[in-house]
C-alpha cells in the first residue's frame, strides 16, 4: 500500500450518478467501521453514451477529487468507467483502485455453480456493451460458453428519478426483455450499478425467484481482504462518517435515498 494514508482514512467511491449508492450500501454493510466519501458525477451523466477518452477524462477528475480528500482506496462504482478507464486509473494513482466488472463476473459464475444454469444475460449501458469488457472477463475467468448482452439505456434515468419500484420502470424492463422470452430464463447479471436500485421492479417483471445478481458483495469482500492485508482496516471505535458529494443537484427525493442507508443523506455540490 502506498500513499499518505492511515487505517482511519476514508474509502472513496464514485459513479456517474446515484447508481454507485448500490455499491456503497454493500461496502458499508461489509465494513461498518469504515468511513466513506461518495461522489456522483450527476452533471455529466450518463457515462454510458460517451467515448473512451471522455469517460477516462471524467473518471480521472472524479478520482483526483477523492484522492485530494485523502482516501486510502478507490472504488470505481460505475461499470462504464470500469470498462473504459480502470487500467488508466490503476496506473496513475498510488492507492488501490477496484472496479465492478471482475466482481460482477465472479458473482455470476458463483450463481451458475450453485444453480447449474449456463445461460447468462448481461444488462448494461451502451458503452459497457460496446467495450465487451464483460465478455472478455468471462473468458479470463474460464467461462467459454456464449454470453448475451443487452444495452438498457433508459434504466439509468429512471433510477436517477428514484423510480426504483414504479410501473413505468417495470414497463421499460418488460419492453427490453420481452424479445428474449419473458420471463427471462437464466442468470441476469446487472452490469450497471444503477440497475440493482431497480431490483424490485425486475422481480415484479421476472418473478421473485429470478436469478438476478451483481458484483457489489463480491467487491466489498475483496476490498475488505485487501485492506486487511495492508493493515488498513479501520479499528477505531469512533462513529463512522458517510460524506456525499455530487456535481449537480440530485433529482431523487432524499427520503428514498435515506432508506438505503437508514440515515439522513445530504449531498454537497462540488465543481470538478
- Give pLDDT tens digits for 246-259: 999 987 777 778 87
Position 184 confidence tier, pLDDT thresholds 50, 70, 90: low
pLDDT value at position 2? 45
Q: What is the mean pLDDT of the chain?
A: 94
Distances (CA, A) of 121 to 54, 98, 156, 191, 270: 27, 23, 18, 9, 37
What is the distance between the alpha carbons of residues 234 and 217, in angstroms, rounded to a whole number?
19
Q: Are residues 60 and 162 in the same domain?
A: no
Alpha carbon distance 3, 67 (integer Å): 10
Percentage above 70 pLDDT, the chain: 98
Give pLDDT, residue 96. 97
Which candidate in 28, 62, 76, 78 is catalytic?
Answer: 78
pTM of the model: 0.93
pLDDT of residue 266: 87
Q: Are residues 27 and 153 in the same domain?
A: no
Tell whether 108 and 205 lie within a shared domain.
yes
Instruction: Say how many domains are in the chain.
Output: 2
Q: What is the pLDDT of residue 182?
A: 55
The domain boundary, picked from 213, 228, 249, lies at 213
Is residue 152 annotated as part of the catalytic site, yes or no? no
Does a structural domain hold residue 6? no
| 239 in the same domain as 196 | no
Q: Which of 123, 159, 192, 265 is catalytic?
A: 192
pLDDT of 183: 58
Four-point Cα dihedral 157, 162, 166, 170, nearest 10: 30
Amino acid at each position: 500500500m502506498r500513499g499518505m494514508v492511515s487505517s482511519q482514512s476514508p474509502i472513496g467511491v464514485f459513479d456517474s450518478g446515484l447508481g454507485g449508492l448500490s455499491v456503497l450500501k454493500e461496502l458499508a454493510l461489509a465494513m461498518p467501521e469504515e468511513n466513506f466519501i461518495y461522489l456522483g458525477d450527476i452533471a455529466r451523466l450518463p457515462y454510458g453514451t460517451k467515448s473512451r477518452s471522455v469517460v477516462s477524462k471524467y473518471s480521472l477528475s472524479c478520482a483526483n477529487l477523492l484522492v485530494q480528500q485523502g482516501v486510502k482506496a478507490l472504488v470505481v462504482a460505475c461499470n462504464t468507467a470500469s470498462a473504459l478507464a480502470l487500467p488508466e486509473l490503476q496506473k496513475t494513482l498510488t492507492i488501490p483502485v477496484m472496479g465492478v466488472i471482475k466482481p460482477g463476473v465472479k458473482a455470476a459464475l458463483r450463481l451458475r455453480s450453485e444453480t447449474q444454469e449456463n445461460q447468462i444475460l448481461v444488462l448494461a449501458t451502451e458503452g459497457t456493451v460496446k467495450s465487451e469488457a464483460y465478455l472478455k472477463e468471462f473468458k479470463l475467468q474460464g467461462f467459454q460458453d456464449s454470453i448475451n448482452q443487452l444495452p438498457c439505456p433508459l434504466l439509468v434515468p429512471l433510477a436517477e428519478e428514484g423510480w426504483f419500484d414504479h410501473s413505468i420502470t417495470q414497463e421499460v424492463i418488460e419492453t427490453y426483455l420481452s424479445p428474449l422470452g419473458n420471463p427471462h430464463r437464466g442468470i441476469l447479471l446487472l452490469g450497471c450499478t444503477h440497475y440493482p436500485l431497480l431490483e424490485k421492479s425486475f422481480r415484479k417483471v421476472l418473478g421473485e425467484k429470478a436469478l438476478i445478481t451483481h458484483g457489489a458483495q463480491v467487491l466489498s469482500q475483496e476490498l475488505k481482504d485487501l485492506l486487511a492485508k495492508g493493515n488498513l482496516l479501520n479499528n477505531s471505535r469512533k462513529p463512522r462518517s458517510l460524506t456525499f458529494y455530487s456535481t449537480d443537484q440530485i433529482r431523487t427525493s432524499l427520503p428514498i435515498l435515506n432508506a438505503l442507508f437508514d440515515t439522513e443523506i445530504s449531498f454537497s455540490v462540488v465543481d470538478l
